[in-house]
């Protein structure tokens, strides 16, 4: 089991403006009061996020229908998982979060009736937790390549037709309570700004190329975070 906490998140104004959609800059110009709220959030932001990620690698026994059976007997997968990772001999599972202070601050804005600040901070928080996940993807892909191994694109329960119920298996295998994460019976992860992922690992190239996880996302045609800004996707 591995726990990572060293994530140099990008929190400059340009990047955080992009989390709010293409028209947000114009909104700030028209409404100075909203601009002041945004500036206040940027000032407070460093006190609100605590990036943490727990992950491990598990060997695959064989493919069982639409899932992988791991050597420990656990079944995991569904939706496009086998299509994307059928060559995998092992998988990396991970859970990451930016911590409860962010959840508490969003809730406090809402309870105070400051819904605009709550919406702005919610978008920023989604971007930050995705940065943790994306940073890990890049780092682990590089390390695997140094070992002569190939990695698939990552997939995440709930972001495609892969059912969110697999979060129960993630939590059983990774024990993320050690980074303050819990799972409700509804499969909702706490803190709210938390994400999961799985990456296939193989000694041979994966046959499915030229795709990314957003291609399998059920929100790809209406998600404002799928806009490209500064050369990257802003995705939950």
User: 76-85, 126-135, 205-214: lowest mean pLDDT where?
Assistant: 205-214
Q: What is the pLDDT of residues 9-24, one digit of tens each?
A: 777 778 888 777 778 8
Domain boundaries, the chain: 2-230
Q: 185 pLDDT exceeds 70?
A: yes
pLDDT at 228: 42
pLDDT at 1: 87
Confidence of residue 227 (pLDDT cuts 50, 70, 90): very low
Average pLDDT for 52-81: 95
- This prediction's pTM: 0.86
Q: 224 pLDDT exceeds 60?
A: no
Mean pLDDT across the chain: 88
pLDDT at 217: 63
* CATH number, span 2-230: 3.40.109.40
Q: 209 pLDDT exceeds 80?
A: no
Confidence of residue 184 (pLDDT cuts 50, 70, 90): very high
What does the chain look like in DSSP terms, one character per residue?
A: -EEE--------HHHHHHTT-TTHHHHHHH-HHHHHHHHHHHHHGGGT---EEEEEEEEEEEEETTEEEETTS-EE--TTHHHHHTT-SEEEEEEEE--HHHHHHHHHHHHTT-HHHHHHHHHHHHHHHHHHHHHHHHHHHHHHHHTT-EEPPPB-TTSSSS-GGGHHHHHHHH-GGGGT-EE-TTS-EESSSEEEEEEEEESS--S--S--GGGG-TTTTT-GGGSEETTEE---
């Amino acid at each position: 089991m591995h726990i990572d906490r060293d994530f140099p998140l990008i929190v400059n104004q340009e990047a955080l403006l992009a989390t709010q959609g293409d028209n947000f800059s114009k909104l700030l110009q028209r409404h100075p009061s909203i601009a002041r709220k945004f500036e206040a959030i940027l000032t407070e932001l460093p006190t609100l996020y605590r990036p943490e990620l727990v992950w491990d690698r598990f060997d695959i026994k064989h493919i069982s229908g639409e899932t992988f059976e791991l050597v420990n007997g656990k079944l995991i997968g569904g939706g496009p998982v086998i299509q994307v990772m059928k060559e995998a001999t092992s998988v990396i599972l991970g859970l990451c979060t930016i911590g409860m202070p962010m959840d508490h601050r969003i809730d406090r804005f809402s309870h105070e009736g400051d819904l605009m600040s709550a919406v702005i901070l919610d978008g920023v928080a989604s971007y930050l937790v995705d940065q943790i996940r994306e940073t890990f993807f890049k780092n682990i892909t590089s390390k695997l390549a140094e070992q002569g191994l190939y990695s698939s694109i990552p997939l995440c329960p709930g972001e495609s037709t892969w059912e969110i119920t697999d979060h129960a298996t993630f939590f059983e295998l990774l024990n993320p309570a050690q980074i303050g994460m819990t799972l409700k019976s509804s499969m909702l992860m706490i803190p709210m700004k938390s994400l999961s992922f799985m990456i296939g690992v193989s000694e041979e190239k994966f046959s499915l190329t030229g795709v990314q996880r957003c291609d399998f996302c059920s929100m790809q045609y209406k998600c404002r975070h799928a806009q490209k800004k500064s050369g990257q996707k802003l995705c939950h």
